[in-house]
Structure 1
């Protein structure tokens, strides 16, 4: 998290405030203090006792707390790093996701990971004493400088009227006061950069400053230890998108053999993710009685749910691939829902309903809209799923992006080129608007005996934003239309992070929230699936 919480401008040093290093027995009180300070951001596991234990174990000399009358009223967490260069690092990258595994005693930079003061004790000189401990660390370890990612909680009330850069300039000039940045400037920090998405911080609209304090007592001739610097990680995943051929079959075993072709191909090419199309299980209509009408056929198809789940659970476990099993009908009390399933290598199953239903789906199948919007953190990538028509509603992708989504999987099923292009162009727009990779997987081929699936038009593809690091057409890879094949490509997630911050255009940063804003009426679920 970005460091710092506000204190009164009139704060003076309180001689009754004492500072010392953390001890293991302090950790329960530190956890409770952090809950009070960061109540809107607290998540068990990210800010729990285990994180404090790891920080203390990594660098016990760098963790300080402040006490007043025996009560812990503030704390600071630091580590030593040796950065490759002054470039963009997220909090997760520079701190090892808060675990301080990146602590390097041979480094020359003290990184201020966190500074928190109990809201009831702000303005009593707690923060200055904790900053003084940081400065003593600089002298003790002969470190060149101290840096931190600073929050900007005051910016929200000026957003739309001022850019983040203009806001910071006015705070630095003393024309505006920020609850966090102003005290940091008073203790000697100066602002080097302004970052977006350094950490999730609603009060600061996810903006943060990179602030620096130069140690005037640094003696470079004594700092002769060399070490490898922290480098920006390259986060790549390999994706396989099935272009599923709807051919006549006579049994469930034939269906499984066709599924295995795609799974085996993805496994052979060492893919991390495999996505199937929307309602590709409709191929099983052909093993039902031929006189079955569409609505009844869809209900009977839902009867294969147990087999469908078992087939894909087994293959995800055997191959270690995250499989988005297209979508499959699920019977609900008031109709049928179209539901995407995510199968994980450890055998878990997660779902995402289709939220927008087309007129033909209502007419032929009595489909009803689903509920809930999710982002799945797989450990390798944070992904979202939108089924076909859903991708034509830009609000969904924007809300998922705010919840951390990096790659959007879109299983689709379209019967002709115009319908396909609606999905394709919408998916491309979602990539550009939100700096995402968007993955399309569609059905091809014909099912002559099934009235509502007579023909299929599809072209699976992996789409990118449109800027210098990405392909000229913003298409990483695409299949030949209407053939049985797969699309396989590697995507670099670190490119997304860099371009969101430094791209030619920055649509996430440049939103006019003084004129418009998306407000979700539901909580976007963020689910860890590893």
Structure 2
């Protein structure tokens, strides 16, 4: 390189797209035009990841470029084709939370090849990898010299001879000088006649990578929403005169949740027991439960309509429901699109068995919603650690726990267990309970309650492991934003990691029935 031909590398700008396309056409002159990145491709790539695209310039002249994006690489299945990794050249697949820098393309104008330009571009990539604390740079490398050995050597043999110095390949030797290691040879990476369709799988590790810091800095994007605003009710079980009064109170809470832009609204266990006060006086509790169960369709219609009108995922507490000839304590999840999904209470208290005639429910369900994986454990269910652990092993992010407790000791059993489940499993637990009382209804004559949203206990979460809690025994709501990405990170990198540090050599947890994954729309 002559002194006047000083080349510098800088971050590409949108106005460089046309010049980058010109370099691509010159460097890949033997390729069909449809297989070469055009000005539109480069503009999209710069827009998707501005700091990841570089140009080599001599004065104002663009003489080379290197394009890259951040991706999440599965070490157990590391091979992908170019179109899949790059979103067909648009870089729509760029994931700021990924673990690897993917080298999509590097090209130098033929007039400037052999002058060290490519090595300057590779150095820019290495610096980018280290700046973002990524574990590696990965790429698919062309082997354009292989066509001359068609029928004489396999692609793998050809690559090995280049690595051993017996043969030279313009592209592969450049990659090796840059510090890449060949991890494999694959077919179908690009439509590349010179390479006969083959490519090397190249890896350049980052020796200074700090994976734990990377986990904390990133926020893996695995589902549609990674932050969820949750509203939990403290519901006043006061006397009402009609079903319409009940509907008015339910809508009041929905309106409140919607006014605070909540995604999810949670009501307490047996919230519908408020309707006992509208039934004929003097009937037995079992008769009241039967009348309440007879309102199932009307209640579903009410909650479903409210969820749709207010655009909420609405956990309608729980209510007695007849199922398979018995009475079950059933919770329903209502969706903005009109869906209704059910989880029955699995563990029944002695009082429910004796006075309410409730039988244990069936089915362990995980609801795959657009806002995260949700499960419902009703009151007493939270006191069984095995159930929560199974649900979390099936990917649950948010555990909803509607409860009904009559005095402080009862409440604290639920509250302490909810907090323990949050810590043990790195999961959010949302508590919604009743307050007040119904003087004419012996089953609900008194309630002690405090809604709360419990979190794990580590640096990414509140000091006391509580995102929000209400004032005891007062009708109100509690609202908190839950960071689901923090769960993904902390389960891997927290100060203590109960999910990872279990002694599988000493004990195990097994289900006797399948855990159902239900896709919620």
Range of TM-score over shorter length: 0.5 to 0.7
Secondary structure of 2:390's match? helix
1:92-171 mapped onto 2 (5 Å cutoff):
109-110=137-138, 139=172
8 Å Cα contact 1:329-1:336 kept in structure 2: yes
Match of 1:420 in 2: 411
Match of 2:470 in 1: 479
Q: Match for 1:399 among 374, 390, 406? A: 390
8 Å Cα contact 1:138-1:146 kept in structure 2: no
Is 2:267 the counterpart of 1:276? yes
Q: Match for 1:345 among 323, 336, 344? A: 336
Q: Match for 2:423 among 394, 413, 432? A: 432
Change (3 A) 1:290 1:146: farther
CA offsets per residue over residues 369-395 of structure 1, 9 Å max, x none? 011111111122111110000000001
Match of 2:60 in 1: none
Match of 2:510 in 1: 519
Match of 1:253 in 2: 244
Match of 1:225 in 2: none
CA offsets per residue over residues 199-240 of structure 1, 9 Å max, x none? xxxxxxxxxxxxxxxxxxxxxxxxxxxxxx997558211000
Q: Match for 2:487 among 496, 512, 516? A: 496
Gaps of 5+ in 1: 1-51, 63-78, 96-101, 113-125, 149-185, 197-228
Is 2:434 the counterpart of 1:443? yes
8 Å Cα contact 1:458-1:482 kept in structure 2: yes
Change (3 A) 1:270 1:80: closer
CA offsets per residue over residues 325-368 of structure 1, 9 Å max, x none? 00111112342100000001110100001000000000111100
Is 2:324 the counterpart of 1:326? no
Distance across 1 between alignment mates of 2:218 and 2:458 = 27
8 Å Cα contact 2:138-2:203 kept in structure 1: no
Task: Give how far 1:103 is off.
Answer: 10
Distance across 2 between alignment mates of 1:230 and 1:446 = 47
Gaps of 5+ in 2: 1-78, 107-123, 126-136, 141-153, 164-168, 184-200
8 Å Cα contact 2:346-2:360 kept in structure 1: yes
8 Å Cα contact 1:128-1:187 kept in structure 2: no
Q: Match for 1:376 among 359, 367, 392? A: 367
1:454-473 mapped onto 2 (5 Å cutoff):
454-473=445-464
8 Å Cα contact 1:58-1:103 kept in structure 2: no
Structure with greater Cα Rg: 2
8 Å Cα contact 2:85-2:93 kept in structure 1: no
8 Å Cα contact 1:377-1:383 kept in structure 2: yes
Task: Give how far 1:440 is off.
Answer: 0.1
Secondary structure of 2:236's match? strand
Secondary structure of 2:275's match? helix
8 Å Cα contact 1:447-1:453 kept in structure 2: yes
Task: Give how far 1:519 is off.
Answer: 0.6
8 Å Cα contact 1:441-1:460 kept in structure 2: yes
Change (3 A) 1:289 1:470: same
Task: Give how far 1:61 is off.
Answer: 8.6
Distance across 2 between alignment mates of 1:103 and 1:365 = 65
Q: Match for 1:236 among 227, 230, 234? A: 227
Task: Give how far 1:138 is off.
Answer: 8.6
Distance across 1 between alignment mates of 2:170 and 2:456 = 43
Match of 2:401 in 1: 410
8 Å Cα contact 1:110-1:146 kept in structure 2: no
Change (3 A) 1:458 1:147: farther
8 Å Cα contact 2:264-2:313 kept in structure 1: yes
Match of 2:57 in 1: none
8 Å Cα contact 2:181-2:202 kept in structure 1: no
Task: Give how far 1:296 is off.
Answer: 1.3
Q: Match for 2:297 among 296, 303, 306? A: 306
8 Å Cα contact 1:461-1:487 kept in structure 2: yes
Of the structure 1 ranges 52-61 and 435-444, higher mean CA displacement relative to structure 2 is found in: 52-61
Change (3 A) 1:416 1:503: same
Distance across 1 between alignment mates of 2:316 and 2:455 = 22
CA offsets per residue over residues 457-482 of structure 1, 9 Å max, x none? 00000011111121111111100010
CA offsets per residue over residues 22-58 of structure 1, 9 Å max, x none? xxxxxxxxxxxxxxxxxxxxxxxxxxxxxx9999566
Change (3 A) 1:231 1:287: closer
8 Å Cα contact 1:239-1:272 kept in structure 2: yes
Change (3 A) 1:509 1:254: same
Distance across 2 between alignment mates of 1:420 and 1:369 = 21
Distance across 2 between alignment mates of 1:323 and 1:412 = 16
Report how many aligned residue pairs link the two structures: 368
Secondary structure of 2:502's match? coil
CA offsets per residue over residues 250-305 of structure 1, 9 Å max, x none? 10000011111100000000000000000110011111111110111101100111
Is 2:256 the counterpart of 1:265? yes
